[in-house]
Amino acid sequence: MPYKTKAENVAADLEEKKLKQRLQLVKHLKEKGIFLELFAGKGYLSQVYANYASQLILVDENEDYLREAQKKLGHIPTRIFCKDNIDFIREDLPKFQDLVFVDFDAFGCPAKQIKAFFEVYSMKPKEILVS
């Protein structure tokens, strides 16, 4: 069941504290770049990131949710991966070694995904924000 809030504009179903936190994070980026959003769902956070990213990579197992997210993000280059996050990290992440922002947001603990990410991600970033 989706959580509801009074957050304005881009993220009507996004919890207000989460929205404010993510907006504070992305404002610290010095330049636009590639954002990776694991557990992307319907793209509510992606809408927040769209103004700060040159490209979005969305990963989720729910194809319907990803289609909905992509419709919302028609104005920004978006790559969609309908698969398990760990599978994406092991199979596809090596193609994207120039990320500037990674969001591991999940209901629950994404410790396995975070561990797998840093086992695979080989670039020594000059700046990367991880949420």
E strand or H helix that includes residue 69: helix 63-72
pLDDT in tens, 99-119: 888 998 766 788 899 899 989
Please check the confidence at residue 40 and state whether its pLDDT lies above 80.
yes
Task: Report the Cα 21 to chain-centroid distance in Å.
Answer: 14
Full set of structural domains in the chain with CATH: 16-130 (3.40.50.150)
Give Cα separations from 110 to 79, 81, 93 (angstroms). Answer: 21, 18, 16
pLDDT in tens, 30-39: 888 899 999 9
R_g of the chain computed on alpha carbons: 14
Residue with the two structure tokens 């959003």: 37
Please check the confidence at residue 18 and state whether its pLDDT lies above 90.
no
